[in-house]
Amino acid sequence: MMKALSSLSSFAVSLLFEIMNIWNTTSDFILLGLFKHTGAHLFLFVMVLTIAFTSLVGNALMIFLIHQDARLHTPMYFLLSQLSLMDMMLVSTIVPKMAADYLTGQKSISPAGCGLQIFFFLTLGGGECFLLAAMSYDRYVAVCHPLRYPILMSWQLCLRMTVGSWFLGAADGLMQAAATLSFPFCDAHEIDHFFCEAPTLVRLACADTVVFEYVMYICCVLMLLVPISLILISYSLILAAVLQMHSREARKKAFATCSSHLCVVGLFYGAAIFIYMRPKSYRSANHDKIVSVFYTIFTPVLNPIIYSLRNSDVKGALRKCMGHWGTSNQD
């Protein structure tokens, strides 16, 4: 792991030096944004801000409950806390800049700011892809091999999967951000999006980007199709085990849990695959913006509801905290 981190650091330094000159000579980009200044779009803007704020509060509450309640100190809830952290950071990377641009009318973003936004977005999005796969493995072991759970899902393995998710996401984010900004850009620096996203920015390049797009496509296969394949295999095995259960109530509960989890996974992966793996000839700026909203704003607010707040252990921890706060206020 240390050798990999050292290699990544050396690669990052060399790439950063190569693109520093381009940053110094490239003027700011203009983000055209998601909304116009009309009544209908103002309503949608307020709704998006409300959803984003709800996402931040819900995910922060999840992290707090998991940290405070000793009963939630298990690998499953640790992975959930990491998912909540990624979702909070993802919303914080996108929404504040989008809101500031809409309210102030100043839509410019520097090349360095654009690069940082690409890096954090891909780090968090890519890390979440692998983290969701790790969570599906955790559920597979819990349902199919409950007696061997402490061995098959040890804390050591849990931490390795978590660190691996962050590392692979950061590696993908660093390479794509640096490579995207290494291209020379044409005079038109208008980005028809509400944040800097690599596929959208590459369209402005005044150079041959075929090789880069091919490499980016391969990265997407590794970052999207491999994890979702593992998720589908895990949940297929879970459903096979559920069908063999004799208890009707247990089957109903397991089906409800699996279906809700798969809905969130389908929304996140479906939108990401639509953006990053669609043929170039079928791409549309308006479609990209709408689909990007789903996995940058809507999915983060669904995760704490689907994965956690419907969970009896989490609801018990919440009631315990509220009771403790109520007792403290009375004293």
**Range of the structural domain that residue 294 is part of:** 24-314
In a domain, residue 67? The reply is: yes
Beta carbons within 8 Å of 216's beta carbon, 6+ residues apart: 176, 198, 199, 276
In a domain, residue 268? The reply is: yes
In a domain, residue 124? The reply is: yes
- Burial letters for 140-170: b for 16+ Cβ neighbours within 10 Å, e otherwise? bbbbbeeeebeebbeeebbeebbebbbbbbb
In a domain, residue 13? The reply is: no
Find out whether 79 and 162 touch, Cβ atoms under 8 Å: yes
Handedness of CA 2, 3, 7, 10 (dihedral sign): positive
Find out whether 111 and 22 touch, Cβ atoms under 8 Å: yes
d(CA 148, CA 100): 51
Using DSSP bridges, classify how beta strands 29-31 and 190-191 pair: parallel, antiparallel or unpaired: parallel
Residue 179, judged by CB atoms within 10 A of its CB (0-12, 13-18, 19+), counts as buried
In a domain, residue 50? The reply is: yes
| Each residue's pLDDT expressed in tens, for the chain with a length of 331 residues | 555 545 555 555 555 555 555 555 557 888 988 888 888 889 999 999 999 999 999 999 999 989 888 888 999 899 999 999 999 999 999 999 999 999 998 888 988 889 999 999 999 999 999 999 999 999 899 888 889 999 999 999 999 999 999 999 999 999 888 888 888 887 678 888 889 988 888 888 888 888 888 888 888 888 888 899 999 999 889 888 888 877 777 777 677 667 777 877 887 888 787 777 776 666 677 777 888 888 888 888 888 887 766 677 777 877 887 776 666 555 5
Question: How many structural domains does the chain have?
Answer: 1
Find out whether 288 and 198 touch, Cβ atoms under 8 Å: no
Using DSSP bridges, classify how beta strands 108-109 and 29-31 pair: parallel, antiparallel or unpaired: antiparallel
Q: What pTM does this model have?
A: 0.86
Which domain CATH number covers 191?
A: 1.20.1070.10
In a domain, residue 15? The reply is: no
In a domain, residue 6? The reply is: no
**Helix, strand, coil fractions of the chain, as percent rounded to 5:** 80, 5, 15
Nearest Cα residue to 199 out of 132, 129, 268, 272: 272
In a domain, residue 176? The reply is: yes
Residue type present at position 221 = V
Find out whether 169 and 90 touch, Cβ atoms under 8 Å: no
Length of the chain: 331
d(CA 171, CA 133): 18
Cα distances from 82 to residues 59, 88, 316, in angstroms, run 10, 10, 20
